[in-house]
Structure 1
Amino acid sequence: MGILGGRGLLITGVLTPASIAFHVARVAQEEGARVVLTAHGRPSLVRRVAQRLPEPPPVIGLDVTDTGQLGSLAERVGAHLDGLDGVLHSIGYAPPSALGGNFLSTPWEDVATAVHVSTYSLTSLTMAALPLMGPGGSVVGLDFDASRAWSGYDWMGVAKAGLESCALYLAKELGPRGIRVNLVAAGPLATTAARGVPGFDGHDWDRAAPLGWDAADAGPTARACAVLLSDWLSATTGEIVHVDGGAHAVGG
């Protein structure tokens, strides 16, 4: 039995087989987890993608900006799992006006959307899942290094900085319940989301990273998430684990 043997996981963010969340779901199943996926708006699409996993999991609809769907999440997940041991937050969106060099002219309404979907949802998703989680539970969010300003990333970068702070406060509040909250900051990967951000170039990252970087290989990121979702790092919370070939650790 693998490191996730018997653990029930809720995984958000599967859209295509290139999605980081898809690879996390695959690794999780290979390591023995029982998985439920969420879908935003197009559950039939996610169900088709889910057929490519080792064992096609249930798919439930979830819009993290819909309080009604969040309110019924525990009941709907509970129809498939008798409890939750882990949640993967792989959710992020910014309107086009909030990306691509428009930082100074982005209207508040679009900034608010980016922060709501990409930052606040870490808390709202966690709280919606909390009735199914007990001591030993783990929340893992996908991050992108917010310590620097990236060309074209603009308000999504601000939202990721908020995500990092949000994870710290969640770790503080949920630690007494025995629930860990950590982030995985991955280098740029060839996902649908990354293609929407001008200037994200895996080749440049490969040259900068001491270990090199393959933007087509989500495996290292998925395995890092799996370890954090397991009980192997039972005393680790409030941490950002960088899976980026070491690029964050060196100067330009």
Structure 2
Amino acid sequence: MGLLDGKIGVVFGVANKRSIAWAIARAWASEGAQLAFTYQGERLKDNVAELVGTFGPETLLMPCDVTRDEDIQAVFAQMQQRYGKLHLLLHSVAYAPREALEGRFLDTSREAFRIALDVSAYSLVALARAAAPLMTEGGSILTLSYYGAEKVVPHYNVMGVAKAALEASVRYLAYDLGPQRVRVNAISAGPVNTLAARGISGFLEMLRHYEAKSPLRRNVSPEELGATGLFLASDGAAAITGQVIYVDCGYQIMGM
């Protein structure tokens, strides 16, 4: 019997096979969860469809631009129609304009700031609000953060501010949704070579730095992030909510 047998989940943010979201989705599915997926825009549709197809042709795949409330409503209307309930939600969505991830944070434009906060932080609030009515049996909402929310990481810039807002949102959502037994947590992952990460200037240097300075002297693997995502979705984490769990080979504890 799998840890997530009988659980229904929806996954936002798979871009390709290297996505952290895909690693967590695979871990969830391996323990019995039945999953639906969304994709952002036609450019990513084929990649995501190919991956999702490995779970079977009946797997639900839906378009969703998280900045459009009507898209979000359409996703959860389809979830309601297909399953009638929901237990798991994975939010792995973040974006800032490329120019905002170069140079100085001081030079972040008002529009780049708005976009980064809307896509990367407010989207969790919007998705949780839409999901909550379906989580009648309790549930687990999981998002992905990064150490740049807590400390300055050169070139992470406005995304660090967005991740700080995301982590605060986790705490407030955990408080609001706790009475209906819905838990909300974040994984703060060490650097992983994903599509999003490659947009950050100096990313390869970051990988080398983590490997040299973390207590475990290595970088985290997608499979390890998947395992943590599985734990947080399972009954083993039934008393854990509002937390940011660092999965970074210990880098977060280091002073220098």
TM-score (norm 2): 0.93
Matched residue SS, 1:134: coil
Following superposition, the deviation at residue 140 of structure 1 comes to 0.4
In the alignment, which residue of structure 2 is the partner of 1:40? Answer: 40
In the alignment, which residue of structure 1 is the partner of 2:174? Answer: 171
Pairing 1:97-116 to 2, within 5 Å after superposition: 97-116=99-118
In the alignment, which residue of structure 1 is the partner of 2:156? Answer: 153
Matched residue SS, 1:29: helix
Matched residue SS, 1:225: helix
In the alignment, which residue of structure 2 is the partner of 1:210? Answer: 215
Query: Is contact 1:10-1:87 (8 Å) kept?
Result: yes
Query: Is contact 2:12-2:90 (8 Å) kept?
Result: yes
Matched residue SS, 1:72: helix
Distance (whole Å) between structure 2 residues aligned to residue 202 and residue 81 of structure 1: 41
Following superposition, the deviation at residue 99 of structure 1 comes to 0.8
Following superposition, the deviation at residue 5 of structure 1 comes to 1.3
In the alignment, which residue of structure 1 is the partner of 2:60? Answer: 58
Structure 1 alignment gaps of length 5 or more:
none
In the alignment, which residue of structure 1 is the partner of 2:81? Answer: 79
**2:131 equivalent to 1:129:** yes
Query: Is contact 1:41-1:61 (8 Å) kept?
Result: yes
Q: Deviations over 1:136-193 (max 9, x none)?
A: 2110000101110100000000000000101110011111111110000000001000
Q: In structure 2, what residue type is equivalent to 1:10?
A: V
Aligned pair partner of 2:190 in 187, 191, 207: 187
Pairing 1:227-246 to 2, within 5 Å after superposition: 227-246=231-250
Matched residue SS, 1:236: coil
Aligned pair partner of 1:249 in 232, 248, 253: 253
Distance 1:134 1:19, change over 3 A: same
Q: Deviations over 1:114-144 (max 9, x none)?
A: 0000011110011111221124211000010
Distance (whole Å) between structure 1 residues aligned to residue 132 and residue 232 of structure 2: 17
Matched residue SS, 1:83: coil
Query: Is contact 2:9-2:34 (8 Å) kept?
Result: yes
Q: In structure 1, what residue type is equivalent to 2:189?
A: A
Distance (whole Å) between structure 2 residues aligned to residue 55 and residue 190 of structure 1: 27
Following superposition, the deviation at residue 209 of structure 1 comes to 1.1
Distance (whole Å) between structure 2 residues aligned to residue 79 and residue 44 of structure 1: 24
Distance (whole Å) between structure 1 residues aligned to residue 10 and residue 218 of structure 2: 28
In the alignment, which residue of structure 2 is the partner of 1:118? Answer: 120
Q: CA RMSD in A?
A: 1.4
Following superposition, the deviation at residue 101 of structure 1 comes to 2.1
Distance (whole Å) between structure 2 residues aligned to residue 203 and residue 219 of structure 1: 19
In the alignment, which residue of structure 2 is the partner of 1:13? Answer: 13
TM-score (norm 1): 0.95
* Dislocated runs of 4+, deviation >3 Å: 53-56
Matched residue SS, 1:18: coil
Structure 2 alignment gaps of length 5 or more:
none
Distance (whole Å) between structure 1 residues aligned to residue 213 and residue 81 of structure 2: 46
Distance (whole Å) between structure 2 residues aligned to residue 241 and residue 211 of structure 1: 17
Following superposition, the deviation at residue 55 of structure 1 comes to 4.1
Distance (whole Å) between structure 1 residues aligned to residue 255 and residue 31 of structure 2: 36
> How much identity, in percent, do the aligned residues show?
37
Distance (whole Å) between structure 2 residues aligned to residue 203 and residue 160 of structure 1: 22
Following superposition, the deviation at residue 241 of structure 1 comes to 0.7
Query: Is contact 2:219-2:248 (8 Å) kept?
Result: no
